[in-house]
Amino acid sequence: MFDYIIIGSGFAGSVIAERIANVLNKKVLIIEKRNHIGGNCYDYKDENHIIVHKYGPHLFHTDYKDVFDYLSNFTEWQVYQHKVLAFIDGKKVPIPFNFNSIREVFPKTLADRLERKLLEKYQYGSKVPILELKKTDDEDLKFWADFIYEKVFKNYTAKQWGLKPEEIDPEVTSRVPVYISRDNRYFTDKYQVIPKDGYTKIFERMLSHPYIKIMLNTDFKEVIKIDFENNKIFFMEHEFKGKLIFTGMIDELFDFKYGYLPYRSLNLKFETLDKEYYQEAPVVNYPNDYDFTRITEFKHIHPVETKKTTILKEYPKSYQPDKDIPYYPVFTKENRELYNKYKEEAEKFENLILVGRLAEYRYYDMDDVVKRALEVFEERVR
Ligand code: UDP
């Protein structure tokens, strides 16, 4: 009945389903545990007509023209340059920490000296990861790097990951480098946009094809069985000989046989307030104060005329299997080794393809996932 089965309807699963139907003219079934499509990109209009991101803020940014062009088939865009402030010592300063942030927290003479020394050492416009900056032997720059490490990274990373910045893969903290610049934007990618009608509409348009069927509210384990002895896949008791594209948690696929892969989860608390705006930026990070990491105010992202506003506070927590949503893979050397054991197991199956943040245990951004799904489609699905 189906040539392909896809588990999960986030970007990884939806892009591949769309390609299978439109390019290959083949039939595909998507199995989705939740009562909606779109994975963690899912958004909706709340009772005040504000588009909110149900699973936390999603800001699209990419340097990949092919990804931008591909997604443009399914949405119009609003130009949107994301800005983040961090609450440090009672002031809100631009993040990534840059020359403007320096001026906000240090007296002028010190700020002048730091800027001069930084420009002697780094090219204007360069981005330097905090763990790199800390290696300097210049006394002023060391003081400055330690300040940023303490005030911006140390406690935020402890809240977000339960780890010190140096205990987690450098890939994580270098996502937010220190910026030798006066550019206050969070990202510097060429394409920074927000879908005009929200993300959910992108998924609806991608998946509206007669050859794509979607089974919502269905845990894949209800319909898929895996025969580990013979490396075979069964769908509704029949052997499935088409390709299975799995975008969920790889450890769950293999019944956690090598143990649980650690993930980080979040408690998300939405609040609607009786005021026009709550804060001056779309996102304000609170590295050192309170238990939440950041507050997002959605009206800044999707402007709408209403007297109310909706904000979101994110409280990170460790992930408990079967209870929480696995938002982030936790990168450490040990966890990657455990992941590789599962990956080797998956490679024994001829017709199993893993793609996405959970199945590949990678900290993919939205554009990375779309890029990866388009590549996997060309290389392995076709
Ligand atoms: N980070 C930090 N302080 C900040 C912002 C980021 O320490 O004010 C670190 C932290 O470890 C975080 C990582 O940088 O998890 C990546 O931040 P990003 O904003 O990319 O996280 P996401 O939006 O994916 O949750």
d(CA 301, CA 362): 26
For residue 6, the CA-to-ligand 1 centroid distance in Å is: 31
d(CA 155, CA 147): 12
For residue 82, the CA-to-ligand 1 centroid distance in Å is: 14
Task: Write the DSSP symbol of residue 26.
Answer: -
The band of 184, judged by pLDDT with boundaries at 50, 70 and 90, is very high
For residue 314, the CA-to-ligand 1 centroid distance in Å is: 12
For residue 185, the CA-to-ligand 1 centroid distance in Å is: 14
CA angle 356–165–149, rounded 5-degree value: 130
d(CA 228, CA 211): 30
The band of 370, judged by pLDDT with boundaries at 50, 70 and 90, is very high
Beta strands at 283-285 and 328-329: parallel, antiparallel or unpaired: unpaired
CB 176 within 8 A of CB 157: no
Q: pLDDT tens for residues 229-288?
A: 999 999 999 999 999 999 999 999 999 999 999 999 999 999 999 999 999 999 999 999
For residue 285, the CA-to-ligand 1 centroid distance in Å is: 9
Ligand 1 atom with least separation from CA of 173: 14
| Sequence-ordered alpha helix ranges (H) in 11-123 | 11-19, 65-71, 99-105, 108-121
Pocket of ligand 1 (CB under 6 A): 86, 95, 152-153, 156-157, 160, 172-173, 175-176, 285, 287
Joined together, the tokens standing for residue 237 give: 């008791």
How many CB atoms lie under 10 A from the CB of residue 192? 18
List of residues 6+ apart from 345 with CB closer than 8 A: 254, 257
d(CA 58, CA 75): 16
pLDDT value at residue 381: 95
Q: Which of 55, 87, 105, 173 to mutate to test the pocket of ligand 1 (most atoms within 8 A of CB)?
A: 173
For residue 96, the CA-to-ligand 1 centroid distance in Å is: 10
For residue 368, the CA-to-ligand 1 centroid distance in Å is: 17
Instruction: Give the pLDDT mean for 156-166.
Output: 97
Model-level pTM greater than 0.85?
A: yes
Indicate the residue type of 290. Answer: Y
Q: Which of 87, 156, 285, 367 to mutate to test the pocket of ligand 1 (most atoms within 8 A of CB)?
A: 156
Ligand 1 atom with least separation from CA of 86: 8
Indicate the residue type of 326. Answer: P
CB 167 within 8 A of CB 86: no
To the nearest 10°, report the CA torsion of 333, 358, 173, 176. 160
Residue 80 has pLDDT above 90, yes or no: yes
- Average pLDDT value for the chain: 97
CB 325 within 8 A of CB 258: no
Q: How far is CA 189 from the centre of its chain?
A: 16
Report the nearest-CA residue for atom 20 of ligand 1.
175
Q: pLDDT tens for residues 86-122?
A: 999 999 999 999 999 999 999 999 999 999 999 999 9
The tally of CA atoms less than 13 A away on the side-chain side of residue 33 is: 15
For residue 175, the CA-to-ligand 1 centroid distance in Å is: 7
How many CB atoms lie under 10 A from the CB of residue 90? 7
Q: Residue written as tokens 């089965």?
A: 5
Joined together, the tokens standing for residue 57 give: 């803020």
Q: pLDDT tens for residues 49-64?
A: 999 999 999 999 999 9
Ligand 1 atom with least separation from CA of 57: 23
Joined together, the tokens standing for residue 342 give: 């599962």
* The total number of residues written for the chain in this structure: 382
Q: Domains in the chain and their CATH numbers? A: 4-37+207-260+329-381 (3.40.50.720), 95-179 (no CATH)
Q: Which of 153, 167, 188 to mutate to test the pocket of ligand 1 (most atoms within 8 A of CB)?
A: 153
